[in-house]
Chain A
């Protein structure tokens, strides 16, 4: 237990040096808190319609203005953070699990390697966004299907990353030692190989979360994702787009929110890469 503690604090010491990454982490934590306490923070309910206050430009009472149905944009953004963050997190969770499983199997059982990786190549031949669009239109648009589509479409990428890093550790002496003392394959994979591949996976997952949030909002923007009246940021952008000539804030503000989260994830991902994998440090 003590050893683990020192390793984590060592990582944190290195991470702290990167000011940008620390700022990104703070932004990220703020967004997570906002998503959790949306009900307490948001001044209005996300679907509070009131024709009397439609299209009010940003002012003291409505810091980000109101939309065509008189809903407070700030409240919608606050509730919307739940969608973007949970989609990002769960979609990547799905691709880590599926991709990780396939990657480990491919690397550990050479007989299956060729079959699995050629299948992954086939899926890689379809651009991720296209694949996600087809999956979501086949399953029908809902929050869960959107996550599934975004997650499954980046499975091949994770399968490759995990396979490469497992291949690198498989031949190490401690794995041989574990095998010599009679550990089962499952135990070797879970206790000896995966912990050694975890840093590559964490970095990839952080950056993939940024990508997943962008893809999901693009899908919602195109009308394949979450539908009105849900306050998903991409869907808000798509609804506000009609009023770009008169109420530009309806398109500017949700975009800024997406950008802030994605930017934070990208800097944190870069920071993690530098501190978890010193070999990659430039």
Chain B
């Protein structure tokens, strides 16, 4: 198991290098010269050259790529073109905000999703089932940014209960972003929970457990839910990635100074060092979260543990296939 974890952690390094090359190449061909953008169109060639050297953006494609990758290995993401401060410092301050919101959102998503998923599966083909599957379908069809705007409309404009923007000064500012992100994830989690529970509830061991006289809820929680958990965990893991990306729009709507808003502002200002840093950070966090999810599998289902110990790292992908339909 330890060997597997170490292997997966090491695999993150080539992934990050690859992601850097991809993002660097895309941004390298983007229009706009950061030096002229920072110094103005009338800047002298000397000033432009000095700025390029200072920011590390002089030289050919290969020189710059080499410098970027070299910096990455030292944990240096370069300087922001706008503020001339290290991108890493800027990111770490903002990441805490994004992390807090995403964490609360996924907690909300898990609670709502699993709860309504179980209810819906146990009461299959009743009004409760149709209601919650219907709501979930609406939930995944609703654009996250529109949902955020509707929350602002109802709770800030009409009812005046919650502040429409900002973050950090009061818990009230957190309510709407967390709902906007969490409800969206809960819809996907609910659909997976429902279908997974429906499948498990038909198994023979559930009938056995009922037959030996266990109470209904003990059967549901200990026998059914535990066995239904694998696809649910997979979807939760995928949702974490979706949440990190979804936080971009949500942060813009609620004016929250997180990584997502920083990314959009940087793209608009053509501050490509900062953009690259944001993408790398998000890719890194998703990779770590995926690893954690894969480790959690082994606690939920001990059969997986032997699978990891005998097979190669690639096996983790094959079981994720089924869960991607709604992602």
Chain A interface residue bracket vs B: 35 or more
A76 at the interface (CB under 8 A from B): no
Residues in B whose Cβ lies below 8 Å from that of A71: none
Task: Decide yes or no: A237 and B245 within 8 Å by CB, A125-B15, A125-B287, A160-B321 being known contacts.
Answer: no
Question: Who on chain B is nearest to A203 by CB?
Answer: B325
Cα-based distance from A128 to B283 in the complex (angstroms): 11
A81 at the interface (CB under 8 A from B): no
How many Å from the CB of A244 to the closest CB on chain B?
6
B26 touches A135 (CB 8 A): yes
B152 touches A244 (CB 8 A): yes
B324 touches A157 (CB 8 A): yes
A70 at the interface (CB under 8 A from B): no
Task: Decide yes or no: A263 and B137 within 8 Å by CB, A130-B279, A221-B145 being known contacts.
Answer: yes
A122 touches B241 (CB 8 A): no
A105 at the interface (CB under 8 A from B): no
Residues in A whose Cβ lies below 8 Å from that of B142: 255, 259, 262
A97 at the interface (CB under 8 A from B): no
Question: Who on chain B is nearest to A237 by CB?
Answer: B146
B140-157: contact bitstring with A at CB < 8 Å (1 yes, 0 no)?
111111100110110001
B206 at the interface (CB under 8 A from A): no
B149 touches A127 (CB 8 A): no
Interface residue from B23, B242, B245, B249 paired with A221 (Cβ < 8 Å): B249
Task: Decide yes or no: A122 and B157 within 8 Å by CB, A127-B241, A160-B321, A218-B249 being known contacts.
Answer: no
B149 touches A237 (CB 8 A): yes
- In the complex, the number of residue pairs spanning A and B with C-beta atoms less than 8 Å apart equals 129
Task: Decide yes or no: A138 and B30 within 8 Å by CB, A122-B15, A126-B23, A248-B153 being known contacts.
Answer: yes
B282 touches A127 (CB 8 A): yes
Main secondary structure of the interface of A (DSSP, over half): helix
B18 touches A138 (CB 8 A): no
Residues in B whose Cβ lies below 8 Å from that of A214: 143-144
Interface residue from A127, A140, A223, A259 paired with B286 (Cβ < 8 Å): A127
B143 touches A218 (CB 8 A): yes
Cα-based distance from A67 to B90 in the complex (angstroms): 39
Residues in A whose Cβ lies below 8 Å from that of B252: 222
Task: Decide yes or no: A263 and B22 within 8 Å by CB, A222-B249, A244-B153 being known contacts.
Answer: no
A282 touches B195 (CB 8 A): yes
A110-140: contact bitstring with B at CB < 8 Å (1 yes, 0 no)?
0000000001011101111110011101101
Task: Decide yes or no: A255 and B146 within 8 Å by CB, A127-B244, A134-B23 being known contacts.
Answer: yes
B30 touches A137 (CB 8 A): yes
B245 touches A127 (CB 8 A): yes
Stretch of B58-66, B68-76, B260-268 with 4 or more beta carbons under 8 angstroms from chain A: B260-268
How many Å from the CB of A39 to the closest CB on chain B?
27
B1-39: contact bitstring with A at CB < 8 Å (1 yes, 0 no)?
000000000000001001100110011011100000000
How many Å from the CB of A96 to the closest CB on chain B?
15
Residues in A whose Cβ lies below 8 Å from that of B219: none
A75 at the interface (CB under 8 A from B): no
How many Å from the CB of B55 to the closest CB on chain A?
19
* A residues 184-231 in Cβ contact with B at 8 Å: 203-204, 207, 210, 214, 217-218, 221-224
A248 touches B242 (CB 8 A): no
How many Å from the CB of B66 to the closest CB on chain A?
19
B57 at the interface (CB under 8 A from A): no
Residues in B whose Cβ lies below 8 Å from that of A126: 19, 22-23, 279, 282-283
Cα-based distance from A241 to B148 in the complex (angstroms): 11
Residues in A whose Cβ lies below 8 Å from that of B149: 237, 241, 244, 251, 255
Task: Decide yes or no: A122 and B153 within 8 Å by CB, A127-B286, A255-B146, A259-B146 being known contacts.
Answer: no
Interface residue from A128, A135, A245, A252 paired with B150 (Cβ < 8 Å): A252
Cα-based distance from A132 to B195 in the complex (angstroms): 31
A107 at the interface (CB under 8 A from B): no
Residues in B whose Cβ lies below 8 Å from that of A133: 248, 263-264, 267
Question: Who on chain B is nearest to A256 by CB?
Answer: B146
Question: Who on chain B is nearest to A269 by CB?
Answer: B325
B183 at the interface (CB under 8 A from A): no
Cα-based distance from A273 to B140 in the complex (angstroms): 17
Residues in B whose Cβ lies below 8 Å from that of A241: 149
B199 touches A282 (CB 8 A): yes
Residues in B whose Cβ lies below 8 Å from that of A203: 325
How many Å from the CB of B273 to the closest CB on chain A?
13
B143 touches A217 (CB 8 A): yes
Cα-based distance from A127 to B237 in the complex (angstroms): 13
* B residues 177-198 in Cβ contact with A at 8 Å: 195, 198
Residues in A whose Cβ lies below 8 Å from that of B23: 126, 134
How many Å from the CB of B318 to the closest CB on chain A?
8
Residues in B whose Cβ lies below 8 Å from that of A259: 138, 141-143, 146
Q: Beyond A203-B325, A221-B143, A266-B141, list 17 extra A-B contacts (CB 8 Å).
A: A119-B18, A126-B282, A127-B242, A127-B245, A127-B286, A130-B282, A133-B248, A133-B264, A138-B30, A157-B324, A160-B324, A164-B321, A218-B249, A222-B252, A251-B149, A255-B146, A270-B137
The list of the 7 closest CB pairs from A to B, nearest first, reads A127-B245, A255-B146, A122-B18, A263-B141, A138-B30, A129-B245, A262-B141
Report 22 cross-chain contacts, Cβ distance below 8 Å, ordered by A residue: A122-B18, A125-B15, A125-B283, A125-B286, A127-B241, A127-B245, A127-B283, A133-B248, A134-B27, A134-B279, A135-B26, A138-B31, A221-B145, A221-B249, A222-B252, A234-B143, A241-B149, A251-B153, A259-B141, A259-B142, A263-B137, A282-B198
